[in-house]
């Protein structure tokens, strides 16, 4: 009989999601992600117990942040800067630091990275060497996923291939009564 230490009990699969990277890819693909369905899919497919979304904090997006939290995500906010009317809130370093913290504190069993950005290749390589990366989920197409991530030879799943499982179902608006009136 194998005895499992308490340290091994607390190790979990963790998803690290770059919100800006995900949002940009969804805009290009022209569909909306149902975050509740996405969270369930992560748990069922990859046994993700903890899922972080790294996102720039903009006060007016409070309802969006609440939706993410209600969907089961943990939010890690980045202060944003406004440069010439453009919002800047790069979360790459925050994501990297959280992954490093989870690894060194012994919380991380296997990582699921949701990003297409080659800046994450060094993290993926370290996790691969320690057999602690489950998959990279690329929000971008095969063509737009960074070659640096592809070169790590870690399994890459493309979110577009999961569209039917995680897309938000938008109900068509009801037609106005005048549009459906068939009287002559």
Closest CA relative to residue 28, chosen from 120, 144, 161, 137 = 144
- Which residue segments constitute the domains of the chain, with CATH numbers given? 8-170 (3.40.50.1010)
Q: Give the pLDDT mean for 102-106.
A: 94
Closest CA relative to residue 48, chosen from 65, 66, 27, 73 = 73
Range of weakest confidence among 17-21, 131-135, 142-146, 175-179: 175-179
Tens digit of pLDDT for each residue in 38-83?
999 999 999 999 999 999 998 899 999 999 999 999 999 988 778 7
User: Rounded to whole angstroms, how far apart are CA atoms 92 and 55?
Assistant: 10
Tens digit of pLDDT for each residue in 117-158?
999 999 999 999 999 999 999 998 888 899 999 999 999 999
DSSP letters spanning 21-34: HHHHHHHHHT--B-
Residue 172 has what pLDDT?
57
pTM: 0.84
């Amino acid at each position: 009989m194998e005895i499992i230490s308490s340290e091994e009990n607390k190790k979990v699969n963790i998803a690290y999601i770059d919100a800006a990277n995900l949002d940009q890819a969804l805009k290009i693909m022209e569909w909306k992600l149902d975050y509740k369905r996405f969270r369930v899919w992560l748990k069922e497919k990859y046994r993700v117990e903890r899922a972080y979304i790294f996102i720039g904090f903009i006060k007016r997006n409070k309802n969006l942040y609440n939706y993410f939290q209600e969907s089961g995500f943990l939010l890690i906010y980045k202060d944003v800067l406004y440069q010439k009317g453009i919002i800047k809130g790069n979360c790459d370093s925050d994501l990297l630091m959280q992954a490093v913290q989870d690894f060194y504190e012994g919380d991380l069993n296997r990582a699921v990275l949701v990003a297409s950005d080659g800046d994450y290749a060094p993290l993926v390589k370290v996790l691969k060497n320690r057999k602690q990366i489950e998959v990279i989920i690329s929000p971008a197409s095969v063509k737009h996923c960074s070659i640096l991530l592809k070169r790590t030879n870690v399994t890459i799943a493309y979110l577009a291939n999961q569209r039917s499982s995680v897309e938000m179902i938008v109900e068509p608006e009801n037609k106005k009564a005048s549009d459906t009136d068939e009287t002559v």
